[in-house]
Amino acid sequence: ENGFEAVAGLRSKLKKDASKRPGTRLLKDKFMAVEQAAATKKGREAGFKALSDFVEEAKKSGLVKQLMQKHKVDKDLTVP
């Protein structure tokens, strides 16, 4: 009775959904960030190095950015 309706999610999705729901307002600032990570089992030093090298090269070479563009999320997300 005294409640209100609210939703949280990725800003890009909420912006798209807002166009379908008149009266929707998005908060100006983000309240959290989603960080992606990669991992390997402890003790696998060669695998850890290979994974680390791959991720850094993928960012440096532009592969990550290309994939973000391909999936149309490059305007919504950033690469550190």
d(CA 34, CA 72): 17
* Backbone φ and ψ of 30, nearest 5°: -80, 155
CB under 8 A, 24+ apart: contacts of 11-19: 11/76, 12/73, 12/75, 12/76
d(CA 30, CA 15): 13
State the Rg of the chain over Cα. Answer: 18
pTM for the predicted model, two decimal places: 0.61
What local confidence, expressed as pLDDT, does residue 30 receive? 81
What local confidence, expressed as pLDDT, does residue 33 receive? 78
* Residue 1's pLDDT band (cuts 50, 70, 90): low
